[in-house]
Amino acid sequence: KNEVEQSPQNLTAQEGEFITINCSYSVGISALHWLQQHPGGGIVSLFMLSSGKKKHGRLIATINIQEKHSSLHITASHPRDSAVYICADATDKLIFGTGTRLQVFP
Amino acid sequence: GAVVSQHPSWVICKSGTSVKIECRSLDFQATTMFWYRQFPKQSLMLMATSNEGSKATYEQGVEKDKFLINHASLTLSTLTVTSAHPEDSSFYICSARGFSGQANTGELFFGEGSRLTVL
């Protein structure tokens, strides 16, 4: 079974800062999801990627298949980015990371 | 974009009663839906995979007789928590894979989640 780990577990930042959240996994995958879970519980899928890099607005996700590692970057962070960010192995069934709780202060 | 609607968003029930949660794909057909559970401050855990027209596939440790899943149409899956107990209190959320034509796009769309409290 794939072990999906995230770091850091908790992250605080000042508005405008560049944020990086890391995800590593133990077994090779074919696809990885980055999800955003808001305080109320609702979940939004941010990215699904299997190689390289994807960008959407201020969010950038990268994956290095050889190193079994993915990163989610947020540029010019804003308080509304405060949420839990979760990576998940999407090769077969979803295996979720433990999540990173981000708080961005004005 | 694709939308998955989940209902109810929260429910309180007495111990021993059953609770049904609905998950609908509003503008696309979902042959496969997934049900997850999340306890406070813990990761999401996949409970089962709901397949339209066939039996659900349950993850290890999830009691299929307690968590009944029905996927009778291409747009609706239901999860029924039978004889609920306080330890079943949790956040339940569904998701569906997006389709374009006949192709599975791989994208995941999540319902809003249902917070169950069993007294």
pLDDT digits (tens, 9 = 90+) for A44-55: 999 999 899 999
Task: Write out pLDDT tens, residues A13-26.
Answer: 999 999 999 999 98
pLDDT of residue B66: 96
Per-residue pLDDT tens over the stretch B48-71? 998 888 889 999 999 999 999 998
Chain A: residue nearest B49 by CA?
Answer: A93
Residue B2's pLDDT band (cuts 50, 70, 90): low
Q: What is the largest CA-CA distance in chain B?
A: 45
User: What own/partner pairs with CB < 8 Å and gap ≥ 24 does B21-24 have?
Assistant: B21/B78, B21/B79, B21/B80, B21/B81, B21/B92, B21/B94, B21/B114, B21/B116, B22/B76, B22/B77, B22/B78, B23/B76, B23/B77, B23/B78, B23/B79, B23/B94, B23/B96, B23/B111, B24/B75, B24/B76
- Shortest distance between the Cα of B58 and any Cα of chain A, in A, equals 11
pLDDT (mean) for A66-94: 93
Question: Which region among A16-25, A97-106, B94-103 has the lowest average model confidence (pLDDT)?
Answer: B94-103
Q: What is the mean pLDDT of chain A?
A: 93
Res B100 pLDDT > 60: no
Inter-chain touch B112–A31, beta carbons under 8 Å: no
Interfacial residues of A (vs B; Cβ cutoff 8 Å): 31, 33, 35, 40-45, 48, 86, 88, 90, 93-99
Give the pLDDT confidence score for residue B68 in this predicted structure.
96
Q: What is the mean pLDDT of residues A70-89?
A: 96
Contacts 24+ apart (CB under 8 A), A23-26: A23/A69, A23/A70, A23/A71, A23/A72, A23/A87, A23/A97, A24/A68, A24/A69, A24/A70, A25/A68, A25/A69, A25/A70, A25/A89, A26/A2, A26/A68
- The stretch A75-90 carries a mean pLDDT of 95
